[in-house]
Amino acid sequence: MSHSIEVEDEPSSENQPFIKPKNEFFRATQSPMDFLHNNRLGSLLMFALKWGMTVFGYIMISIAMVLFTLLIIFYFFAITPLVSYNNYIYATLVLVGIFLAFNLMFNYIQCIRTPPGAPTQEWLDEVEGKIDELRRAGSSIPGKQFSKYCNRCEQAKPARAHHCHICDKCVLRMDHHCPWVNNCIGYNNHRYFILFLFYLWTSAIHVCIVLSLVSLDKVWYNEEIWYQWGTWLAFVNILSGSMAVTMTGFFGWHVYLLLTNQTTIEFQFNKFKVVTAKRSGKSSLNEYDVGMRSNVEQLFGTIDRWIFMFLPSITPPPLSGCEYPTLSNYSRIEV
């Protein structure tokens, strides 16, 4: 794999000359976030945001853990016993339940505990000689190009990396900061995030279908069970039903981003680039979209059998996260 870094190769950059912002309020190479960090009131606000979001993140993780645990207990101790009259159906539901519950919790915990990825020392050493060039090339003017130098970390920033102001560090291929996992979603844990959404979606659909069938079959015609479990069954059915609907949209959106090799941040930026290019009669391509299979393999590793993608694995993704194949350098970097 090549490690050569050419500043001119930055695909999201159109190598435009640096344009001084009209608003003199911000210094030329200073983004609004840098400005906040560099004055007393602003840094106090950023400090409050950072710690406020961290505490909020722990609360969200606790809520999610309690919810998942209750759902798992309810599934194994209330739903499946209702079909214990048939050994085959009972065993199938228990096995499917164990598979879904294990994968759901595995990917959720991995998403929380896996660092999203930071610029590697090897990459930082490689670009050391180009720091001044990178600093000059930096611009945080919306729609122009992302800065190649982080003023906050005072170090070079790889392509696709962004500084998270809650984690207070540069994150490789940053997607977003997720309060539900109290962590950034970046290159190293994006795969766990997508699989977590997948298992949340399939678990919700599974619980919803089983609960509906069991309710119709047993509870509806049995007044005793209805009085005992009716309210809870209806509550869990509504909860899993609404989760299934929400997750269809959210998981579908992340599959689209995965297949087109975009992050949530890049999607906004790419949209802007397409609109701007159209205005001047040109077209704009996402340079990182190098084909569906390669796009998926950049996060999941080599896919020989697609079913393996869904199984639990702690193997890190194949790239360093500091450089990626693009339409122009595809032959130079192999996944």
Residues counted in the chain: 335
If the CB atoms of residues 175 and 297 are measured against Zn ion, the closer one turns out to be 175
Least CB distance to Zn ion at residue 56 (A): 12
Phi, psi dihedral angles at 175 (to 5 degrees)? -95, -60
To 10 degrees, the CA torsion angle through 119, 123, 128, 134?
Answer: -60
Q: How far is the CB of 117 from Zn ion (least distance, A)?
A: 11
Report, in Å, the least distance between residue 151 CB and Zn ion.
Answer: 8
Q: CA-based angle 181:104:202, to the nearest 5? A: 115
Report the alpha-carbon distance of residue 214 to residue 276 in Å, rounded.
55
Backbone angles phi, psi at 157, to 5 degrees: -120, 120
Rounded CA-CA distance 192/65 in Å is: 16
Nearer to Zn ion, 37 or 163 (CB): 163
Q: Among residues 99 and 267, whose Cβ is nearest to Zn ion? A: 267
CB 232 to Zn ion: min, Å: 37
Q: Is the dihedral of CA 260, 261, 265, 271 positive or negative?
A: negative
Shortest approach of Zn ion to residue 122 CB, angstroms? 18
At its nearest, how many Å lie between Zn ion and the CB of residue 125? 17
Answer yes or no: are the C-beta atoms of 147 and 31 closer than 8 Å.
yes
Q: Which is nearer to Zn ion, 168 or 223 (CB)?
A: 168
Shortest reach from residue 5's CB to Zn ion, in Å:
18
The token pair that represents 187 in the structure block: 């290159």
Neighbours of 314 (CB within 10 A): 8
Q: Which residues contact Zn ion (rule: CB under 5 A)? A: 150, 152-153, 163-164, 166-167, 170, 177, 184
Nearest residue (CB) to Zn ion, 164 versus 299: 164
Judged by beta carbon, residue 166 or residue 290, the one nearer Zn ion is: 166
Residue 110 in tokens: 């991995």
Q: Are strands 169-171 and 176-178 parallel, antiparallel or unpaired?
A: unpaired
For Zn ion, the closer of residues 148 and 177 by Cβ is 177
